């Protein structure tokens, strides 16, 4: 991790030098190499790769100039490079990406935990459903059994009328007796 940050620091520092030194005229590659030797211990290959990385990212650009019939490569910072420096460069971008990756990892872990919990909950709901279904089915069966038993054991309606008439006639007889007694007095 320190190596990455050191490399990012090199990129940021060289880009800052491009901002300062190319304000009026582009920089020659030799000047960039000199600055690289002064600030960091880099080989020429590493210096070239840093320049290529900055160019590839679009933060510096190359212009070919002719002076006395000699072509010379000169580099300057682009508008995107200036904006990138205002956003604090590669190190801040790396930190933001690290934070985003950590946040995505946390979200993935939480999603996995939620899926595990949902699976356990759905299994529990399924078991509860079948238990309640069996209880409901047995209750319906018991109710049907009682209904059929009551229909079979129920006396016919004529027997019920006879039983109802007999007590009502005796009630009328007792009422008549009471009225007759009242009359005789």
User: What would the pLDDT profile of 81-117 be if each residue is shown by its tens digit?
Assistant: 888 888 888 878 878 888 888 888 888 888 889 988 8
Number of structural domains in the chain: 2
Query: Residue 133 belongs to what domain range?
Result: 91-159
**Do 139 and 120 share a structural domain?**
yes
Integer Rg of the chain from CA: 50
* CA–CA distances in Å: residue 105 to residues 81, 116, 119, 142, 146: 31, 17, 21, 56, 61
**Do 95 and 83 share a structural domain?**
no
**Do 39 and 60 share a structural domain?**
yes
Residue 148 covered by a domain: yes
Q: How high is the pLDDT of residue 171?
A: 54
- Rounded Cα distance, 44 and 52, in Å: 12
- Rounded Cα distance, 134 and 139, in Å: 8
Q: Convert the pLDDT of each residue in 31-71 to its tens digit.
A: 766 665 556 677 777 777 888 888 888 888 877 777 777 77
> If pLDDT is split at 50, 70 and 90, which confidence band does 159 have?
low
The answer to which of 1-5, 48-52, 77-81 has the lowest mean pLDDT is 1-5
**Do 95 and 79 share a structural domain?**
no
Q: How high is the pLDDT of residue 133?
A: 93
């Amino acid at each position: 991790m320190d190596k990455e940050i050191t490399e990012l620091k090199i990129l940021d520092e060289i880009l800052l030098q491009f901002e300062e030194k190319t304000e009026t005229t582009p920089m020659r590659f030799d000047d960039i190499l000199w600055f690289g030797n002064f600030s960091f211990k880099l080989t020429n290959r590493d210096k070239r790769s840093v320049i290529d990385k900055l160019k590839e990212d679009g933060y510096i650009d190359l212009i070919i100039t002719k002076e006395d019939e000699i072509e010379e490569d000169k580099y300057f910072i682009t508008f995107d490079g200036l904006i990138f420096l205002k956003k604090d460069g590669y190190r801040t971008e790396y930190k933001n990406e690290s934070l985003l990756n950590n946040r995505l990892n946390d979200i993935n872990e939480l999603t996995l935990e939620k899926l595990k919990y949902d699976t356990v909950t759905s299994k529990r709901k399924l078991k509860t459903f079948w238990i309640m279904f069996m209880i409901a089915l047995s209750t319906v069966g018991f109710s049907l059994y009682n209904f059929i038993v009551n229909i079979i054991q129920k006396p016919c309606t004529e027997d019920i009328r006879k039983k109802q008439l007999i007590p009502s006639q005796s009630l009328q007889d007792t009422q008549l007796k009471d009225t007759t007694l009242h009359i005789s007095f």
